[in-house]
Amino acid sequence: MEMLHEELEVLQSVYCLPGECEVDNNDGFHKLTLKLRPSQGESEERVTAPEMSVTFYLSSEYPNVVPQISIVSAYLRRDQLSKLRQEVSLLAQSLQGQAMLADLISFAQEYMDKTHSEFTDQSGAMLHGTFNIESQSEIWTALLQLNHMRARNKYVKTIQNWSTELGLEGKLLFQGKLILILLQGPQSKIKDYIVRQKSVCVDVDSRGRSCKEKMMSVLCEQRSNSTSKRFTEFEVKDCETPRELQNVFTETGHEDLFHNFVQGLQGFHQ
């Protein structure tokens, strides 16, 4: 059950908005319910878009016994729901015996994004059909703090590979003892990144053994504002002074993040 508890801890830290993630434990059985929304479209569309509720029923023998899966959505047709349940169940079978919840949730989110129906008109009514993206996907910004980085070369390469795979841009910033990651991209991809960061062995502990970044902190996760610049790549930058670190945030239009979340961190000194 230790594996399950670790998975649930990671998911609860990622899906942390009110009502977004619920876990019930009854007589050794766990019930995990996640409420997903489309990660594409304009902000007004996304706020009013119907959600999809994905529930996993996990026995004490998980992951050797795959979870039962329930999916409920107001906008997916019956055949779409049936297809999604079947495909998620098949994926679970292929992952039997190993941690799988993050992969199953990511699959459901991607399916939702691909089949998201247009539903807003001037009266706010739902319009069924295939979702057409007429504008760029909504961009979110996340600021993360890492606790340590002993195997720096390997760790940095892993972070760069993940950002490329997920289509995220941003900066990995070092200043003194501070290690910060500034990410930009679709919210679902940022959540995927955070799950990877907390659930995959990315560094070594004081004894040289592989370890996970369980102490990573999500300092901020929000929609990008109109004043912030879009990153075009993922950059690794060593800042020699606190002022140089502050300038990175100022030059990219993220000075508010610096003042609200960085300058008060332990290890940061003006």
Domain boundaries, the chain: 1-117, 139-262
pLDDT given for residue 84 in this prediction: 92
One-letter amino acid of 151 = A
Residue 185 has pLDDT above 50, yes or no: yes
pLDDT given for residue 76 in this prediction: 80
**Least confident stretch, 17-21, 129-133, 225-229, 235-239:** 129-133
What are the CA-CA distances from residue 71 to residues 52, 75, 83, 85, 123 (Å)? 7, 12, 11, 7, 28
The per-residue pLDDT of the chain, averaged, comes to 82
Domain 1-117 is classified in which CATH homologous superfamily? Ubiquitin Conjugating Enzyme (3.10.110.10)
Alpha-carbon gap, residue 37 to 64, rounded angstroms: 30
Burial class (CB in 10 A: 0-12, 13-18, 19+), 263: middle
CA 223 to chain centre: 13
One-letter amino acid of 251 = E
Region 38-52: what's the mean pLDDT?
57
CATH number given to 139-262: 3.30.70.100
pLDDT given for residue 129 in this prediction: 39
Phi and psi torsions of 89, nearest 5°: -65, -40
**How many beta carbons lie within 10 A of that of residue 62, not counting itself?**
22
Q: DSSP class of residue 116?
A: P
Residue 57 has pLDDT above 90, yes or no: yes
Region 180-208: what's the mean pLDDT?
83
Alpha-carbon gap, residue 35 to 61, rounded angstroms: 25
Confidence of residue 134 (pLDDT cuts 50, 70, 90): very low
Tell me the sheet residues that pair with 24: 31
Residue 211 has pLDDT above 80, yes or no: no
Region 99-103: what's the mean pLDDT?
91
CA atoms within 13 A on the CB side of 263: 14
Region 156-160: what's the mean pLDDT?
91
